[in-house]
Amino acid sequence: MFYRENGQFKTSYAADQQIFPIAQDRIAILVILLLAFVVVPMSVSDYTFQAVLIPFLIMALAALGLNILVGYCGQISLGTGAFMAVGAYAAYNLQVRIEGMPLLLSLLGGGLCSMAFGVVFGLPSLRIRGLYLAVATLAAQFFMDWLASRAPWVTNNSSSGSVSAGQLSIGGWAIDTPAEKYLLCLGLLCVLGLLAKNLVRSATGRNWMAMRDMDVAASVIGIRPVYAKLSAFAVSSFIVGIAGALWGFVHLGAWEPAAFSLDRSFQLLFMIIIGGLGSIMGSLFGAAFFVLLPLVLTHVPHWLGLPLSTASATYIEHMIFGALIVFFLIVEPHGLARLWSTAKQKLRLWPFPH
């Protein structure tokens, strides 16, 4: 009853092609952005920032990048941890080796290096497909693991193998409170999310989806596989690289190569599968699910009064995570995003029966 397009007529092409054609959606997004940028920094505790919101934002960005590659272009990639690592280490190197390098430029530089790395390790996709490609991308993951721990120039000759980002600041604005870090991540997520949304609505995005659906047919009608696949790898690893740099600089502060291990790649893949492949919203849902689940799992037994040792709590968490993944895949293979759009469809009629 409230969520209808009744009476909303578009009078220009621009209005017809906007991302949120329904006015209620636009209002909702405005409210959410207002809450996110203004209300949350003033009212939420530091712990919530550090444990929930900042990891959510950075993982959402990384999941967004991966969704472009896997969900929109159909190239299964298990090397995301490596792309994040490249972004993080490249940004770190730019930050420490160049005097007075602005933070945003080093983040972008990290993204660009990750883009180059992604394109190089995306070259096999021109020849290999499907599960073979998935395992081939593992080569990127293990290669980067090795490079980060064996090549001294990656860590700027750090003796312990771990690096730490120093004080973050943009212009004169020093970013040291969790609320400011949250705003930085939120800003980057909004900008890159908007870019990604527009990219997937454009011809490039349609090329990607054509490659995903049937690449032979796509090349028959004139879509060049090289450009489509490599651009997907490039854009995806750019975004993932920036997410990796943020993960290291903002969330971790100091990190060693194990922070971007194979586990991370699997986690991101989980996020986009549960959230919904081929959906920008889905990446956000998946990241939220992934960040909130361990918190729920640690707090619920506490509330119910069941004592659990930390070791068995971790194992039970593993088990519940695995079981939930299988459950979600059986019940809704298109993920939470599909559940959300089904709900919106039902909302168009509510409370009327037809």
CB 245, CB 260: distance < 8 Å: no
- For the CB of residue 6, give the shortest distance to other proteins in the complex, in Å: 38
- For the CB of residue 318, give the shortest distance to other proteins in the complex, in Å: 3
Question: Would you give the binding string for other proteins spanning residues 113-132, x where CB under 8 A is met?
Answer: -----------x--xxxxxx
- The alpha-carbon radius of gyration of the chain (Å, integer) is 21
Give the one residue of 51, 52, 96, 139 binding other proteins; rule: CB under 8 A: 139
Distance CA 187, CA 181 (A): 10
Which residues between 141 and 200 bind other proteins (CB under 8 A)? Answer: 142-143, 145-146, 149-151
Provide the strand spans (E) within the chain: 163-164, 168-170, 173-175, 254-255
- For the CB of residue 234, give the shortest distance to other proteins in the complex, in Å: 20
Residues in CB range of 190: below 8 A, 6 or more apart: 33
Q: Which amino acid is located at 95 in the chain?
A: Q
Provide the strand spans (E) within 119-269: 163-164, 168-170, 173-175, 254-255
- For the CB of residue 232, give the shortest distance to other proteins in the complex, in Å: 15
Give the one residue of 318, 342, 346, 350 binding other proteins; rule: CB under 8 A: 318
From the number of C-beta atoms within 10 Å of its C-beta (0-12, 13-18, 19+), residue 275 rates as buried
- For the CB of residue 301, give the shortest distance to other proteins in the complex, in Å: 14
Give the one residue of 317, 339, 340, 341 binding other proteins; rule: CB under 8 A: 317
Residue 224, interface with other proteins (CB under 8 A)? no
Residue 277, interface with other proteins (CB under 8 A)? yes
Residue 296, interface with other proteins (CB under 8 A)? no
Whichever of 179 and 272 has its CB closer to other proteins, that residue is: 272
- For the CB of residue 288, give the shortest distance to other proteins in the complex, in Å: 18
Give the one residue of 60, 62, 91, 136 binding other proteins; rule: CB under 8 A: 136
Whichever of 87 and 335 has its CB closer to other proteins, that residue is: 335
- For the CB of residue 197, give the shortest distance to other proteins in the complex, in Å: 23
Residue 280, interface with other proteins (CB under 8 A)? no
From the number of C-beta atoms within 10 Å of its C-beta (0-12, 13-18, 19+), residue 190 rates as middle
- For the CB of residue 333, give the shortest distance to other proteins in the complex, in Å: 5
Distance CA 310, CA 316 (A): 10
CB 41, CB 230: distance < 8 Å: no
Closest CA to 273 of 70, 98, 79: 70
Give the one residue of 21, 166, 253, 333 binding other proteins; rule: CB under 8 A: 333
Closest CA to 195 of 138, 236, 151, 224: 236
Q: For tokens 């983040």, name the residue.
A: 107
Whichever of 7 and 307 has its CB closer to other proteins, that residue is: 307
Residue 312, interface with other proteins (CB under 8 A)? yes
Distance CA 3, CA 143 (A): 50
Only segment of 39-47, 48-56, 91-99, 317-325 that touches other proteins (CB under 8 A)? 317-325
Which residues between 202 and 221 bind other proteins (CB under 8 A)? Answer: 214-217, 220
Whichever of 57 and 259 has its CB closer to other proteins, that residue is: 259
Closest CA to 233 of 33, 346, 65, 4: 65
Closest CA to 186 of 102, 246, 256, 101: 246
Residues in contact with other proteins, total (CB under 8 A)?
A: 50
Contact positions vs other proteins (CB under 8 A): 70, 76, 124, 127-132, 134-136, 138-139, 142-143, 145-146, 149-151, 214-217, 220, 262, 266, 269-270, 273, 277, 311-312, 314-326, 329-330, 333
